[in-house]
Amino acid sequence: MVTKFDKLKKHPRIVASVLIVTAVGALALSLSIGQQGLNPSYDGTYKDTVVVPDYQTILPVDKSIEQLGGWKRVGPPKGEAIFAFSDKVDNVRIDVTEQPLPESFKSGTASKVSDLALGYAANTKLTSDDTTIYVGTSIKGKQSVILTKYNLLILIKSQNRIDDDSWKDYIRKLNSINDSQVPKF
């Protein structure tokens, strides 16, 4: 007896496309739910909530966090904080999330990030300076980007497809250590 799963095994591209769309949708939904939970008046523009990460973050060298609309907490209310800001690359909106590198990623980081990228179907591997970037593109053109830099796990989602060279340039510019946002004790 042939099951639906047997039929799917014969079409790995369809399965991969469904996984990409699901992963990008889940990331978008988690960002949206995170914002709505913290700010009931959230309208999808990341402009209302002002927060300060309690760890060192990075920004594009040519922009301040104020120019980017401020940090927004998008992670779970309890547990490790995850913060995001919105920006544009080639006139395409992107949402950049940053969190401290999880403890489980501190050993064998490259392998762990590669495995995470595989889970998001981010199969395109790029290099910008010494940073490895994984890019996944949905059939609708939205992209998920995964990388680590300065002991941060960084996930980026775009609303449309962005050229590989533009991604490399943007990641290269993510070099500005944002000390002003870290509280001084």
Give all domains of the chain, ordered by start, each with its CATH number. 12-181 (3.40.1000)
Task: Specify whether the CB–CB gap between 80 and 99 falls below 8 A.
Answer: yes
Task: Say if residues 30 and 52 touch (Cβ distance below 8 Å).
Answer: no
* From 40-49, 119-128, 153-162, 165-174, the region with the lowest mean pLDDT: 40-49
CB atoms inside a 10 Å sphere around CB 52: 14
Residues 162, 125, 143, 75: is their CA dihedral positive or negative? negative
**Is 155 within 8 Å of 146 (Cβ atoms)?**
yes
pLDDT for residue 1:
54
Residues ≥6 apart with Cβ < 8 Å to 117:
123, 134, 136, 146
**Of 62-66, 73-77, 78-82, 177-181, where does mean pLDDT reach its minimum?**
177-181
171: region left, alpha or beta (phi > 0 left; psi from -120 to 50 alpha): alpha
Highest mean pLDDT out of 46-55, 60-69, 71-80: 60-69
Model pTM score: 0.70
* Position 71 confidence tier, pLDDT thresholds 50, 70, 90: very high
Asked whether residue 185 carries a pLDDT value surpassing 50, the answer given is: no
Q: Provide the pLDDT confidence category of residue 45 given band limits of 50, 70 and 90.
A: very low
Q: Does the pLDDT at position 15 exceed 70?
A: no
User: Cα separation of 131 and 172, whole Å?
Assistant: 8
